Structure 1
Amino acid sequence: MKRTIFVVEDDPDISRLVKHHLEGAGIATRLFPNSKGVIAEAIRQHPSAFLLDIMIPGEDGMELCRQIRATSELAPIPVIFLTAKAEEVDRLAGFDLGADDYITKPFSPRELVARLKAVLRRFEPPLTHQKIRMGELEIDSGAMSVEVQGKPITTTATEFRLLEYLASRPGRVFTREQLLDAVWRDTSYVTLRSVDVYVRRIREKIEQDPENPRYLRTLRGVGYRFEAPK
């Protein structure tokens, strides 16, 4: 089945450029000049990913991302920002909302295609199927699902990959650099602080008290460790 990407971009020249290169790579596109109607169409069509500019008329891309993550049918779908806002504070704000990647303008179309494909690969279920059960937490790698106390928890593809990677190696300590290499692989565009943002988001979803986590522990000055509750 051909993948479809929803591109929300108010600059028609950039929209045409993105469409040309994505469709040249075999990826269908739907273009939107603003956020109007995006959520309703996405619920109907269920795209493979969203590519969002931030500075668009009306509700900006950050607010649109927030709505995507708050909509249960859409929350797991990858979100990539494509924007001129290049400061680290903007990147971290994007990741804090649950973005899976953050690409700044001007951009290389070939790099855009490569990074989109990398994000989509994170969303693919692994070839080996395993279930991890620890305490009140259950992670199903085949279904890419997480449950806490038997209740489903919605995660993004990147959040799931990071959680699964740590949970499948309980007791091992990983530096932020090691986690970047393992989960993101292409680390040239992700900062170490981005790992902290994702860890915080995961804790907010799986921990009863995110400030005093049982599962996802911090080793100050070193990195993170997944710990099976005793």
Structure 2
Amino acid sequence: MTSTVRTTVNDAEVAKFTAMAEQWWDPKGKFKPLHKFNPVRLSYIRDMLCARFGRDASSIRPFEGLSIVDVGCGGGLLCEPLTRLGATVTGIDAAERNIAVASIHAEQSGLDIKYRVTTSEALVAAGEKFDVVLNMEVVEHVDDVPLYMKSCADLVAPGGVMFTATLNRTARSWALAVIGAEYILRWLPRGTHDWNKFLTPEEISAQLKRNGLAIIDQTGVVFHPLADEWRLSPDMGINYMVLAERPKA
């Protein structure tokens, strides 16, 4: 007798990103916006983890001894710099081609990263736990948001944290993140985002709290066109990040 395992994987979303997989590491390709976005989220992760775990932010490898899983890691744009900062990193993605591209690039870069074609719920079923869970720009692409958020939360070890980054469901996000970014500026391929699947900070916070995590920080992220860069901001109307912790047992 076989049982059906519930999954958060949206096959159409996996196919969408698989089709673009070869361009993950091209800063001028289809993932150019993510390359632009990467520095601000990486600096936020670094600052928050150093404060949380008492690490020296000025050291070369401040994350030595920390285990990190990047859920929906894509081509490894976060996995590689975090590995260089000393963390033991596992990158998982439901798209086999993404993992292949990420693995090749890590090998060429001389980095030891554990890449796996799997899902957060499969890691939970295997009993795995991590000091840090990265849930970055993924939740708006999955099926069954409650199951996905529960599985990510269940991966957080006692005393560990989870970062969640996504897009707010507002009129401004529709105008700028969908119409502006996909149709006018063409930063992203059309159809990259479904505005109806965006989640508000209140909805994300509710999911985190429901699964035993406590919010310890949140921030908006806005684009400054004159400087051509993303910066942290109190404005959470479009892009935002939430940091939550699991209390120590």
Give TM-score scaled by structure 2 length: 0.32
Give TM-score scaled by structure 1 length: 0.33
